[in-house]
Chain A
Amino acid sequence: AMEDVCAKFVSQKISKTRWRPLPAAALQPPDLFATGSWDNEDNSISIWAVGDLGNVGLNSEYQVEPQLLCDIRHNGDVMDMQFLDQERIVVASSTGTVTVFRHHQNNQTLSANQCWEKAHYHVDQDTCCGGAACTGVICNNPEIVTVGEDGRINLFRADHKDAVRTIDNADSSTLHAVTFLRTTEILTVNSIGQLKIWDLRQQRNEPSQIFSLTGDRVPLHCVDRHPHQQHIVATGGQDGMLSIWDIRQGTMPVSLLNAHEAEVWEVHFHPSNPDHLFTCSEDGSLWHWDTSTDISEKPSFLHQGGRSTTYFSHTTTNQSVASAWLSNDPAKDRMEITNLIPNQTLSVNSLDVLGPCLVYGTDAEAIYVHKQLFA
Chain B
Amino acid sequence: SRLVQVSKNYRSVIRACMEDMHQAALSARDPALQSQYSTQVSILSAMELIWNLCEILFVEAAAAGPLMLRLLDWVRLHICDVDNMVREVLSSENPSKHELFWNVVDVFVLQGRMDEARHLLSKEASANPTSVNMYKILDDLMKKMPVPSLGNTQTLTEMELKWQHWHEECQRYLQDGTFASNSHMESICKILLGDERAILERKELMTTWYHFLVTRLLYSHPTVKPMELRLYAQMDLFLGGESSPEPLDTILMAAFEFEMHQVIKECSIALSNWWFVAHLTDLLDHCKLLQSHNLYFGSNMREFLLLEYASGLFSHHSLWQLGVDYFDHCPEYGRVYLELHIERIPLNTEQKALKVLRICEQRQMHEQVRSICKIMAMKALRNNRLGSALSWSIRAKDAAFATLISDRFLKDYCERGCFSDLDLIDNLGPSMLLSDRLTFLGKYREFHRLYGEKRFSEAAKLLLMLMTAHIAPCSFWMTLLTDALPLLEHKEVIFSAEQTYELMRCLEDLTAGKVDKQKFQQSNPTSARFQDDVETTKVEMLRLALARNLARVIVKEGTLEGS
Chain B residues whose C-beta falls within 8 Å of the C-beta of A39 in the assembled complex: 317-318, 352
Are A217 and B427 in contact, CB atoms less than 8 angstroms apart?
yes
B386 at the interface (CB under 8 A from A): yes
| In contact, A151 and B387 (Cβ under 8 angstroms) | yes
> Is A217 in contact with B428, judged by CB distance below 8 angstroms?
yes
Q: A40-B317, A346-B321, A347-B355 are in contact. Are A174 and B350 (CB under 8 A)?
A: yes
Among A51-59, A120-128, A290-298, A300-308, the stretch that binds chain B is: A120-128
Q: Determine whether the beta carbon of B317 is less than 8 Å from that of A215.
A: no
Whether B388 is near chain A, meaning CB under 8 Å from some CB there, is yes
Tell me whether A149 and B429 are in contact (CB under 8 A).
no
User: Which residues on B sit within 8 Å (CB–CB) of A194?
Assistant: 423, 427
> Chain B, 405-435, contact with A by CB distance < 8 Å: what is the 0/1 string?
0000000000000001101100111110000
The one of A150, A216, A262, A346 that contacts B431, using a Cβ cutoff of 8 Å? A216
Partner of A124, one of B348, B358, B384, B390: B384
B394 contacts A by Cβ under 8 Å: yes
User: Known interface pairs A133-B349, A263-B358. Does A127 touch B388 (Cβ–Cβ under 8 Å)?
Assistant: no
Given contacts A172-B423, A191-B387, A363-B321, contact A215 B429 (CB under 8 A): yes
Contact with B385, one of A13, A94, A151, A263 (Cβ below 8 angstroms)? A151
Bound Cα distance from A8 to B384, whole angstroms:
43
Contacts of B317 in A (CB 8 A): 39-41
Nearest chain A CB to B37's CB is how many angstroms away? 15
Q: Mark A180-195, 1 if CB is under 8 A from B, else 0.
A: 0000000000111110
The verdict on A13 contacting B318 (CB below 8 Å), with A77-B349, A207-B423 known, is: yes
Residues of chain A within 8 A (CB-CB) of B427 are: 192, 194, 210, 212, 217
B2: chain A residues at CB < 8 Å are none
A129 an interface residue at 8 Å Cβ cutoff?
Answer: yes
**Of all chain A residues, which has the CB nearest B320?**
A39
- Chain B residue numbers with a CB within 8 Å of A336 are none
Q: Which of B317, B386, B388, B430 has the most CB of A within 10 A?
A: B388
- B405 to nearest A CB, angstroms? 10
Q: Does A359 contact B (CB under 8 A)?
A: no
Chain A neighbourhood of B347, CB < 8 A: 129
Max chain B Cβ within 10 angstroms of own Cβ: one of A132, A214, A217: A217
Interface presence of B382 (CB below 8 A):
yes
By the criterion CB–CB under 8 Å, are A172 and B385 in contact?
A: yes
Q: How far is the CA of A43 from the CA of B382 in the complex (A)?
A: 28
A173 contacts partner chain B, Cβ-Cβ < 8 Å: yes
**A199: interface (CB < 8 Å):** no
Assembled-state Cα–Cα distance A151/B390 (Å): 14
Complex interface residues of chain A between 7 and 45 (CB less than 8 A to chain B): 12-13, 38-41
Q: Are B386 and A172 in contact (CB under 8 A)?
A: yes
CB 8 Å contact bits of B62-82 with A (1 = contact, 0 = none): 000000000000000000000
B347-368 contacts to A, CB under 8 A, are 347-352, 354-355, 358
CB distance from B395 to the nearest CB of A (A): 8
- Chain B residues within 8 Å of A207, by CB: 423
Please indicate the chain B residues that have their CB under 8 angstroms from the CB of A215 in the complex. 429-430
* Shortest beta-carbon distance from B342 to chain A in Å: 15
Q: Is the CB of B391 within 8 A of A191?
A: yes
Bound-complex Cα distance A194 to B388 (A): 12
Known: A13-B318, A194-B427, A215-B429. A150 touches B383 (CB 8 A): yes
Q: Which residue of chain A lies nearest to B361 when distances are taken between CB atoms in the complex?
A: A262
Q: Does B162 contact A (CB under 8 A)?
A: no
A335 to B355, CA, bound (A): 30
Report the Cα distance A150→B379, complex, angstroms: 12
In the complex, the answer to whether B385 meets A150 with C-beta atoms within 8 Å is yes
Residues of B within 8 A of A77 (CB): 348-349, 351-352
A79 at the interface (CB under 8 A from B): yes
CA distance A39 to B346 in the complex (A): 10
Closest B residue to A133 by beta carbon equals B349
Q: How far is the CA of A156 from the CA of B292 in the complex (A)?
A: 64
CB distance A173 to B349 under 8 Å? no
Q: Which residues of B contact A132 (CB under 8 A)?
A: 383
Alpha-carbon gap, A314 to B394, bound state (A)? 39
In the complex, residue of chain A having the shortest beta-carbon distance to the beta carbon of B375 = A128
Which single residue of chain B is at the shortest CB-CB distance from A238?
B354
Q: Which of A234-270 contact B (CB under 8 A)?
A: 238, 262-263
Q: Which listed residue, B351, B387, B430, touches A173 by the CB 8 Å rule?
A: B387
CB distance from B254 to the nearest CB of A (A): 33
* Chain A neighbourhood of B429, CB < 8 A: 193, 212-217
Q: Given A41-B317, A123-B383, A150-B383, A174 and B423 touching (CB < 8 A)?
A: no
How far, in Å, is B272 (CB) from chain A's closest CB?
A: 20
Known interface pairs A126-B382, A210-B423, A282-B355. Does A192 touch B318 (Cβ–Cβ under 8 Å)? no
Within 8 A of B (CB), among A123-174: 123-124, 126-130, 132-133, 135, 149-151, 171-174
A133–B388 Cα distance when bound, in Å, is 13
- Interface code A340-370, partner B: CB below 8 Å = 1, 0 otherwise? 0000001100000000000000010000000
Q: Are B388 and A217 in contact (CB under 8 A)?
A: no
Q: Is there contact, CB below 8 Å, between B383 and A217?
A: no
Given the contacts A210-B423, A263-B354, A127 and B383 also touching, CB distance less than 8 Å: yes
Q: Is there an interface contact between B318 and A216, defined as CB atoms closer than 8 Å?
A: no
Cα separation A50 to B347 with both chains bound (whole Å):
35
Roughly how many angstroms separate A207 CA and B424 CA in the complex, as a whole number? Answer: 13
User: A122 to B424, Cβ gap below 8 A?
Assistant: no
A79–B383 touching, CB < 8 Å: no
Q: Which residues of B contact A122 (CB under 8 A)?
A: 383-385
Give chain B residues whose Cβ lies under 8 Å from the Cβ of A172: 385-388, 420-421, 423-424
A149–B391 touching, CB < 8 Å = no
Q: Does A274 contact B (CB under 8 A)?
A: no
Contacts of A213 in B (CB 8 A): 429
Question: Which residues B505-536 have CB closer than 8 A to chain A?
Answer: none
The interface residues of chain A lying within 8 Å CB-to-CB of B428 are 217
Q: Which of B382, B388, B420 contacts A191 (CB 8 A)?
A: B388
Report how far A77 CA is from B391 CA in the complex, Å.
Answer: 23
Asked if A66 lies at the interface with its beta carbon under 8 angstroms from chain B, I say no
* Residues in chain A near residue B348, CB distance under 8 A: 77, 94, 129-130, 133
Q: How far is the CA of A212 from the CA of B347 in the complex (A)?
A: 28
Q: Interface digits, B253-266 against A, CB 8 Å rule (1 contact, 0 not)?
A: 00000000000000
If A149-B349, A238-B354, A282-B358 touch, does A216 touch B384 (CB 8 Å cutoff)? no
**Residues of the B chain whose Cβ atoms lie less than 8 Å from the Cβ of A130:** 348
Query: In the complex the two chains form, is B382's CB within 8 Å of A192's CB?
Result: no
Whether A149 contacts B358 by the Cβ 8 Å rule is no
Q: How far is the CB of B329 from chain A (nearest CB, A)?
A: 14
- A192, B379: Cβ atoms closer than 8 Å: no
* Assembled-state Cα–Cα distance A13/B427 (Å): 36
9 nearest A-B residue pairs (beta carbon): A173-B387, A172-B387, A172-B421, A39-B318, A122-B383, A191-B391, A172-B424, A133-B349, A173-B388
7 A-B pairs with C-beta separation under 8 A: A13-B321, A39-B352, A128-B379, A151-B385, A172-B423, A207-B423, A282-B354
Q: Which A residues lie at the B interface, using CB under 8 A?
A: 12-13, 38-41, 77, 79, 94, 122-124, 126-130, 132-133, 135, 149-151, 171-174, 190-194, 196, 207, 210, 212-217, 219, 238, 262-263, 282, 346-347, 363
Given A193-B429, A238-B354, 5 new contacts (CB under 8 A) = A124-B384, A133-B350, A149-B349, A171-B423, A217-B427
